[in-house]
């Protein structure tokens, strides 16, 4: 039987069907590698719109290179058929896995959520919003690694839109309210809502909202609150439930700021659960010890068993109840204020100032996005424009720094080369070497100042360089390293060997490739090997010239 060929690929069994294409197992004939081959369905090949969307999916996959996203290999056109090849994932989908297992332990669900969050972070950083996150689009390798796939309806925020404004796309069971309404615009927080639906389903075995009627299900997403997951799975920790409810907030502004913030929240949830278990274990150990432990347990049971008195039910018509009348009045007053008193420049700035005084980057970002940018749009030449612009820049820098710290905390690689260089400069600053740190921060400014996408790193580097210049003198690198080696010798002689070894190790690691520090690195290396280091570098250095000597003026250059 003749094998079907598409370009250099020998087509095998069908393994999946999507809205636009059919996915086949295929073999790349040039090297025998197995791939997944997605082919645009013949019945839609004549649709110009779907052809453009297929090409958009290819362009999106080319942008994304991440361990938790299906890898793109290449594509093209064979006759009238468009196709592309991608990584073949042998373990099936999360949907298949859930059908087999029913539901997952919350620990496993959190592990998978962390992987998905990392994939979303990478996509969102590239300007891609998936818009159809669901178990069927999450593939599993044999070692249970997640692979996000099917970017067929993904939105590339850096490209021209292919979906008409206000049009709903996605899968009903996982759709965020703004995705259903078509406003506010679908963005990265839309994927986080879907992530909440997926996490809910992994733990409970069912989606947050269920109905045979699609319209009814959409209204549930818009208006109803999901059932508490702890009522379905009592062993699920309350902290996990809180995380799910945070993701499922109707208002996008109330959800986690982004996929990186979600990763931080997952780590915090794990920490809280560990702490809670530790406290519970200590408590039970104390209660079951000698001296009335049994009585303590009985008292605890009695306390937990007490029921609160129920309030008498109000049977009056709902429109006569005080809370209903009060709510109506509040809504009416709010509507009058909103329509009759539009926010002016002063009010926008005042609200931004209020949020900026709160000790949270999320609140500062809200101040920027909801009020400062609106102020600058409405009043570009207004009396507060310059101040608002300065505040926007400060929030931009704070947001970049917060994300950088979060990535570092989660042991993730830097987001880009500028971030890598900034973190490297910080190592020297933290070691106390303001000479090298200043050089490196200045180098960041020179290297990246013409690249708009690295603007915040340039501004942060300028800030750090300014602080160093204002605080420190003009010691040479050699003088600084000699001082640190003297500190190490003092520590060694005082019996603080670990402190001395820390300094020697840092000098060896940080200055291995620095020609200016050759002598100091050699000295540190010998000390670490417990060898005689020879003459101390500081004994061979000339003392710095004092002001007034040799006709000097005492003025130093930076």
CATH number for the domain including 219? 1.10.510.10
Q: For residue 37, what is the enclosing H or E element? A: strand 33-40
Q: Do 423 and 451 lie in a common domain?
A: yes
Claim to verify: residue 151 and residue 207 sit in the same structural domain: yes
Element (H, E) at 298: helix 293-305
Of residues 534 and 379, more confidently modeled: 379
Cα Dmax for the chain: 99
Sequence length of the chain is 558
Catalytically annotated residue among 46, 96, 132, 363: 132
For residues 459 and 376, state if they share a domain: no
Number of domains in the chain: 5
Distance between CA atoms of 344 and 348, rounded to whole angstroms?
A: 6
Task: Clarify whether residues 106 and 207 are in a common domain.
Answer: yes
Query: pTM for the whole thing?
Result: 0.64
72-78/81-86 β-pairing: antiparallel
Of 405, 423, 445, which residue sits at a domain end? 405
pLDDT at residue 142 greater than cutoff 60: yes
The rounded distance, in Å, linking the Cα atoms of 19 and 302 is: 58
pLDDT band at 323 (very low <50, low <70, confident <90, very high): low
Beta bridge partners of 74: 85
Known catalytic membership, residue 132 = yes
Beta bridge partners of 156: 128
Residues 462 and 484 in one domain: no
Comparison of pLDDT for 517 and 252, the residue scoring more:
252
The confidence score (pLDDT) of residue 431 equals: 86
Q: Is the pLDDT of residue 370 over 60?
A: yes
Average pLDDT of the residues in 350-358: 93
- Residue 138 inside a domain? The answer is yes
Report whether pLDDT(209) > 50: yes
Of 465, 418, 466, nearest to 441 by C-alpha is 465
Q: Please give the pLDDT value at position 99.
A: 94
Residue 487's domain comprises 477-544
Q: Is residue 261 part of a domain?
A: yes
Shared domain for 398 and 373, answered yes or no, is yes
- β-pair partners for 112: none
Position 269 scores a pLDDT of 93
Same domain, yes or no, for 189 and 239? Answer: yes
- Of the residues 271, 290, 307, the one at which a domain ends: 271
Alpha-carbon span 280 to 290, nearest angstrom = 18
pLDDT at 114 > cutoff 50 = yes
Would you state the pLDDT for residue 324? 58
Q: Is the pLDDT at 232 greater than 80, yes or no?
A: yes
* Same domain? 203 vs 127: yes
Beta bridge partners of 148: 69, 138
Task: Note the pLDDT of residue 542.
Answer: 54
Q: For residue 5, count other CB atoms closer than 10 A to its CB.
A: 12
| Interatomic CA distance for residues 58 and 497, integer angstroms | 58
pLDDT of residue 169: 47
Find the mean pLDDT for residues 367-377: 91
302 domain-assigned = no
Which pLDDT value is given to residue 150?
Answer: 86
State yes or no: pLDDT of 195 exceeds 60: yes
- Mean pLDDT (the chain, rounded): 82
Mean of pLDDT values over 458-481: 82
Backbone angles phi, psi at 301, to 5 degrees: -60, -40
Residue 262 has what pLDDT? 94
Residue 312 pLDDT exceeds 80? no
pLDDT tens digits along 520-557:
889 898 888 888 888 887 776 555 454 444 444 444 34
Cis peptide upstream of residue 505 (ω within 30 degrees of 0): no
pLDDT, tens only, 417-428: 999 999 999 998
Percent of residues, the chain, with pLDDT higher than 90: 41
Residue 447 reports pLDDT greater than 50 = yes
Domain boundary among the residues 405, 435, 456 is at: 405
The answer to whether residue 232 is domain-embedded is yes
Rounded (5°) CA angle 412-137-90: 85
Q: What is the pLDDT of residue 108?
A: 96
- In order of 85, 396, 455, the CA distances from 368 in angstroms are 42, 9, 17
Residues 259 and 398 in one domain: no
**Residue 364, pLDDT above cutoff 80:** yes
pLDDT at 348: 93
Pair (98, 82) in one structural domain: no
pLDDT band for 168, please (50, 70, 90 cuts): very low
For residue 516, pLDDT beyond 60: yes
d(CA 310, CA 320): 22
Q: Give the residue-averaged pLDDT of 287-316.
A: 49
Kindly list the strands in the beta sheet with 5-6, ordered across the sheet, starting from the edge strand earlier in the chain. 5-6, 9-17, 21-28, 33-40, 81-86, 72-78
407: how many CB neighbours lie within 10 A of its CB? 19
Residue 488 lies in a domain: yes
Q: What's the average model confidence in pLDDT over 94-117?
A: 95
Distance, in Å, from the CA atom of 82 to the CA atom of 38, rounded to the nearest integer, reads: 9
Within 410-453, residue ranges assigned H as helices are: 417-431, 434-448
Judge if 250 and 113 occupy the same domain.
yes
Convert the pLDDT of each residue in 23-34 to its tens digit.
999 999 888 899
Residue 117 has what pLDDT? 96
- Residue 6 near residue 76 (C-beta atoms within 8 A): no
Average pLDDT over residues 266-281: 86
Phi-psi region at 161: left, alpha or beta (left = phi > 0; alpha = psi -120 to 50):
beta
- Is residue 69 in some structural domain? yes
Residue 34 within any structural domain of the chain: yes
Residue-level pLDDT at 44: 64
pLDDT surpasses 50 at 220: yes
Average pLDDT over residues 200-226: 92
Q: Is residue 518 part of a domain?
A: yes
> Are residues 248 and 258 in contact, defined by beta-carbon separation less than 8 angstroms?
no
Same-domain check for residues 466 and 485: no
| pLDDT score for 53 | 82
Lowest mean pLDDT among 38-42, 180-184, 305-309, 481-485: 305-309
């Amino acid at each position: 039987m003749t094998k079907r060929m598409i370009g250099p690929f020998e087509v095998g069994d069908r393994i999946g069907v999507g809205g636009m294409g059919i996915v086949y197992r295929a073999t790349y004939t040039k090297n025998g590698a197995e791939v997944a081959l997605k082919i645009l369905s013949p019945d839609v090949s004549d649709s110009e719109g779907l052809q453009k969307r297929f090409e958009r999916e290819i362009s999106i996959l080319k942008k994304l290179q991440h361990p938790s996203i299906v890898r793109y290999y290449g594509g093209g056109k064979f006759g009238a058929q468009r196709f592309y090849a991608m990584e073949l994932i042998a373990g099936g989908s999360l949907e298949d896995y859930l059908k087999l297992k029913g539901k997952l332990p919350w620990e496993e669900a959190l592990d998978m959520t962390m992987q998905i969050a990392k994939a979303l972070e990478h996509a969102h950083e590239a300007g891609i919003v998936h818009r159809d996150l669901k178990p069927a689009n999450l593939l599993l390798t044999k070692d249970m690694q997640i692979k996000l796939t099917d970017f067929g309806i993904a939105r590339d925020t850096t490209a021209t839109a292919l979906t008409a404004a206000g049009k709903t796309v996605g899968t009903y069971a996982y759709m965020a309210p703004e995705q259903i309404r078509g406003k506010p615009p679908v963005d990265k927080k839309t994927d986080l809502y879907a992530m909440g639906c997926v996490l809910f389903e992994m733990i409970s075995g069912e989606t947050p909202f269920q109905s045979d009627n699609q319209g009814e299900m959409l209204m549930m997403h818009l208006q109803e609150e999901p059932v508490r997951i702890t009522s379905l799975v009592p062993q699920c920790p309350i902290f996990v439930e809180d995380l799910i409810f945070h993701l499922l907030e109707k208002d996008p502004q109330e959800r986690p700021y982004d996929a990186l913030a979600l990763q931080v929240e997952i780590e915090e949830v794990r920490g809280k659960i560990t702490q809670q278990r530790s406290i519970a274990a200590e408590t039970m150990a104390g209660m079951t010890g000698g001296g009335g432990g049994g009585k303590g347990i009985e008292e605890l049971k009695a306390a937990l068993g007490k029921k609160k008195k129920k309030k008498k039910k109000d049977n009056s018509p709902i429109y006569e109840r005080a809370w209903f009348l009060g709510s109506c009045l509040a809504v009416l007053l709010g509507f009058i204020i909103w329509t009759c008193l539009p926010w002016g420049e002063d009010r926008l700035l005042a609200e931004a100032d209020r949020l900026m005084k709160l000790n949270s980057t999320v609140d500062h970002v809200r101040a920027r996005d909801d009020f400062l940018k609106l102020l600058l749009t409405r009043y570009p030449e207004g009396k507060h424009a310059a101040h608002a612009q300065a505040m926007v820049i400060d929030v931009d820098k704070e947001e970049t720094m917060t994300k950088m710290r979060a990535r570092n905390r989660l042991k993730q690689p830097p987001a880009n080369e500028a971030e890598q260089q900034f973190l490297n400069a910080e190592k020297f600053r933290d070691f106390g070497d303001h000479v090298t740190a200043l050089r490196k921060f200045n180098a960041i400014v020179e290297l990246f100042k013409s690249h708009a996408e690295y603007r915040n790193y340039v501004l942060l580097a300028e800030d750090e360089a300014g602080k160093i210049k204002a605080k420190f003198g003009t010691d040479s690198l050699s003088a600084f390293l000699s001082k640190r080696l003297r500190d190490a010798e003092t520590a060694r002689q005082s019996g603080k060997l670990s402190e001395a070894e820390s300094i020697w190790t840092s000098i060896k690691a940080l200055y291995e490739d620095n020609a200016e520090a050759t002598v100091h690195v050699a000295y540190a290396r010998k000390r670490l090997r417990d060898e005689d280091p020879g003459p101390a570098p500081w004994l061979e250095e000339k003392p710095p010239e004092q002001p007034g000597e040799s006709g000097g003026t005492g003025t130093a250059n930076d």
